[in-house]
Amino acid sequence: MHDHAPTPAGLSRRQLMKAAGVTTLAGLATAATTGAAAQPATRPTRRPRDDGATLVLLGTAGGPTVYGDRAGISSAVVVGDAFYLVDLGHGALGQVAAAQLSTSTGPAARPLSGLAGVFLTHMHSDHLSEFGSLIINGMWNGITDPSAPVPIYGPGDRGGLPPVLGDRDEPPVIAPEDPTPGTVTMTSRAIEAFAQDLNERLRGSGGVDPGAAFAPHDITLPSEIDGPVDAAPMPRIRPFLVHEDDGVRVTATLVEHSPVFPAFAFRFDTDTGSVTFSGDTAPSDNLIELAQDTDVLVHEVIDRAWAEARFPEPRTPAQEATLKHLLESHTTIEDVGPVAEAAGARALVLNHLVPGDGPVPQYRKAGRGFSGRLIVGRDLDEIPLGL
Ligand SMILES: [Zn+2]
Ligand SMILES: [Zn+2]
């Protein structure tokens, strides 16, 4: 589970991955649709996966803009019959169904059966859009066992409002009595916000109290962090354990997404390989340490030329501050390859593309400075870990 040692097998693995290629469910989806038309009562059979763990990209667009051909940011790690979700951008649950992550079959099969954990990198809407949907619709999609609630791990309360950027006037404070709730409070507030629906359904159709079906956790920060960090760089910290079960060991670190705090990267180690998710971050030494010798580094990326064109000169101080924030809290196409190289990753998978409708050849430039395999992620790509 912790085989991080760089060996000649690393090259062989890379070559094998290249030979095996990245599979996509696009062709399968076509076949499944055809099959469904012929046998409307039969749920499409889940695509057989290799015995090892698999990364599935559910959505690859970064930012709150909604695109037609890329869903919002979300990924899955599939290990045997279980799967884990990292972030829940817009469209995530539909993508879970399209990817057929659940192994359950038969009339009672539901897309979320087998969901064994949810990991939220940070409290930005493009990573959380479908969080409420997961909570209120989970019981109808396979989250039905209060004796084994699905763990959710995410940031705790920020501990104070972030600074106002640029020369903007002080804006209104949303929910001033508790303006920076963490994962536990976000979950309970989501349940309360949709109480009318939940009460009606529990009384009319039965089902499971979502407050019992999920077990939210505010990730405990390392003891050396004693309050919100409002400016880069983050303190250097050692990776720390977040979750461990029979299938995965998940560790985390703090990354550079100022003024967001905390912003996490996650690493999943399995018996057959590892995958590390950068979350949203500028180049981060903490991330490079977490991702050391990982099989697959899933890293965010932003097109600097697009960002600069979005705010043409002359810029107001507020526009200048926003542009600076964009570029200093994300990783540019030019910078991401060297990050993957420093981590010793065997493959670099780009996700959280900003913009989500940018030309793929532009993102391919991220291969400069990286000697492993570069994959510009597409929704529903499947990448085996540790071939
Ligand atoms: Zn984001
Ligand atoms: Zn973000």
Structure confidence by residue, pLDDT tens digits, 288-311: 999 999 999 999 999 999 999 999
Mean confidence (pLDDT) of the chain: 88
Output the CA 126–ligand 1 centroid distance in Å.
5
Distance 11 CA to ligand 1 centre (A): 32
Q: Report which of 343, 232, 233 is spatially closest to residue 298, judged by C-alpha positions.
A: 343
Q: What is the arithmetic mean of pLDDT over 57-77?
A: 97
Q: 43 pLDDT band (50/70/90 cuts)?
A: very low
Helix then strand count (H, E) for the chain reads: 13, 15
CA of 200 to the centre of ligand 2 (A): 35
Is the pLDDT at 26 greater than 50? The verdict is no
Cβ pair 290, 256 in contact under 8 A: no
CATH of 51-159+180-221+230-384, one of 3.30.230.10, 2.30.30.140, 3.30.70.260, 3.60.15.10: 3.60.15.10
Domain boundaries, given as residue ranges, for the chain: 51-159+180-221+230-384
**pTM of the predicted model over 0.75:** yes
What integer is the mean pLDDT of 108-123? 95
CA distances to 56, 318, 320, 365 from 336, rounded to whole Å, are 21, 27, 23, 10
Greatest pairwise CA separation for the chain in angstroms: 62
pLDDT of 357 > 90? The answer is: yes
The answer for 236, left when phi > 0, alpha when psi is -120 to 50, beta otherwise, is: beta
Whole-number Å distance, alpha carbon 15 to ligand 1 midpoint, is 31
Closest alpha carbon to 93 in 117, 66, 46, 59:
59
Q: How remote is the CA of residue 280 from the centroid of ligand 1, in Å?
A: 6
Cis before 64? omega within 30: no
Distance 58 CA to ligand 1 centre (A): 14
DSSP-based three-state secondary structure for 264: strand
Tell me what the mean pLDDT of segment 90-95 comes to: 97
Ligand 1 mean position, distance from CA 202 (Å): 34
Mean pLDDT to the nearest integer, 57-70: 96
pLDDT at 268 over 80: yes
Is residue 155's pLDDT more than 80? yes
Ligand nearest to the CA of 62: 1
| CA torsion through residues 363, 364, 367, 368, sign | negative
Span 176-219, pLDDT tens digits: 999 999 999 999 999 999 999 999 999 999 989 999 999 999 99
Å from CA of 124 to ligand 2 middle: 5
Q: Is the pLDDT of residue 269 over 80?
A: yes
Is the pLDDT at 13 greater than 60? The verdict is: no
